[in-house]
Chains A and B, each alone.
Chain A
Amino acid sequence: MTRGYAPDRGRSGHDSASTPDPHLTAVDAPPAARARGLRKVFGSTVAVDGVDLDVPSGAVLGMLGPNGSGKTTLIRLLLGLTRPTAGSAELLGMPMPDRAAAVLPRVGALVEGPGFHPFLSGRENLRRVAAAEPLLRTREIPRAVDAALERVGLADAANRPYRGYSLGMKERLGLAGALLLPRRLVVLDEPTNGLDPAGTRDVRAIIAELHADGATVVVSSHLLTEVEATCTHVAVLQSGALIAAGELHTLLDAGTTGLVVSTPDVDLALHTLRGIGAAVYRDEAEPSAVVVPDGPSAPEVVALLVRAGVAVHEARRRRPRLEELFARLTEGTP
Chain B
Amino acid sequence: MTALDTGVPKAAPFTRLLAAEVRWVLRRPRTLVMLGLFALIPVLIAIGVRVADRQAGPGRGLIGAVAGNGLVLPVAAMTVALGLLLPLAVAMAAADAIAGEAAAGTLRGLLLAPVGRLRLVVVKASGVLVVAAAAVLALAVVGVLAGLLVVGGPPGQLVTLSGSTIGTTEALGRVTLVALWTVGQLAAVGAVALAVSAFTEHPLVVLAAVLGGLIIFGVLGAIPALDWLQPVLLTSGWTAGVDALRDPMPLDGLADATLRALWYLAAGAAVVVLRMLRRDA
On A, residues with C-beta under 8 Å from B are: 76, 79, 81-83, 100-102, 104-107, 109, 111-120, 124, 127-129, 131-138, 140, 177, 181-182, 184
Contacts and interface: CB of A to CB of B under 8 A. Distances in A.
B17 to A, nearest CB: 6
A84 B110 CA distance: 20
Contacts of B28: 119
Contacts of B23: 128
Contacts of A114: 105
Nearest to B30: A119
A120 B27 contact: yes
B11 A115 contact: no
Contacts of B110: 132
B4 A106 contact: yes
Given A81-B281, A102-B9, A115-B109, A132 B115 contact: yes
A131 B17 contact: yes
Contact of A115 (B1, B108, B116, B278): B108
Contacts of A117: 24, 104, 106
A111 B108 contact: yes
Nearest to B107: A115
B20 A132 contact: yes
B24 A128 contact: yes
B54 interface: no
Contacts of A137: 2
Task: Name the interface size band of chain B.
Answer: 35 or more
B109 A129 contact: yes
Contacts of A116: 104-106
Interface string B1-17: 11110001111110011
9 A-B pairs closest in CB distance: A115-B105, A132-B113, A131-B20, A104-B114, A82-B280, A105-B9, A115-B106, A135-B2, A102-B8
Nearest to A109: B112
Contacts of B11: 101, 134
Contacts of A105: 9, 113-114
Nearest to A129: B109
A182 B17 contact: no
B2 A138 contact: no
A112 B115 CA distance: 19
Interface string B81-109: 00000000000000000000000111111
21 contacts: A81-B280, A82-B280, A83-B278, A100-B111, A100-B114, A101-B116, A104-B114, A105-B9, A106-B9, A112-B108, A117-B106, A127-B20, A131-B12, A132-B110, A132-B113, A132-B115, A134-B9, A134-B11, A134-B113, A182-B1, A182-B4
B19 interface: yes
Contact of A134 (B12, B19, B27, B280): B12
Contacts of B115: 132
B112 A81 contact: yes
B29 interface: yes
Given A81-B280, A115-B105, 16 more contacts: A81-B108, A81-B111, A83-B278, A102-B8, A107-B112, A115-B104, A115-B106, A116-B104, A128-B24, A134-B12, A134-B114, A136-B2, A138-B13, A177-B109, A182-B1, A184-B4
B19, B109, B115: residue with the most chain A Cβ atoms closer than 10 Å = B109
Contacts of A134: 9-12, 113-114
Contacts of B107: 115
A101 B2 CA distance: 17
Contact of A181 (B2, B108, B112): B2
A43 B23 CA distance: 39
A104 B113 contact: yes
Contacts of A79: 112
A119 B2 contact: no
A124 B10 CA distance: 24
A275 B11 CA distance: 73
A230 B58 CA distance: 80
A81, A107, A182: residue with the most chain B Cβ atoms closer than 10 Å = A81
A167 to B, nearest CB: 14
A131 B9 contact: no
A107 to B, nearest CB: 7
Contacts of B10: 134
A114 B11 CA distance: 23
